Structure 1
Amino acid sequence: MREIQIVPSVLPADFANLGRDITALHEAGIDRIQWDVMDGQYVPNITVGADVIKACRDYTDVPFEAHMMVYNAERFIDDLADAGCQMVIYHPDTLKHPHRVFQATRDAGMQAAIALSPTTSNDVVDYVGDLIDMVLVMTVNPGFGGQAYLHTMEPKIAQMRARLDRLGLTEMDLEVDGGIGPDTIAGAARAGANVFISGSALWKYPSFAQGVEDLRAKAEAAR
Structure 2
Amino acid sequence: MQQPLGVILAGGQATRMGGGDKGLLQLGGETLLHRVIDRLEPQVAGLALNANGDAARFEDFGLPVLPDSIEGFAGPLAGVLAGLDWAASQGAESIVTAAADTPFFPCDLVPQLLLAGEVMTHPLVLAATPDTVSGTARHPTFGLWPVALRDDLREALQHGLRKVVMWTQQHGGREALFPQEAAFFNVNTPDDLAQAEGML
Of structures 1 and 2, the one with the larger relative CO (CA 8 A, separation 6+) is 2
Instruction: State the TM-score, normalizing by the size of structure 1.
Output: 0.32
Higher strand share: 2
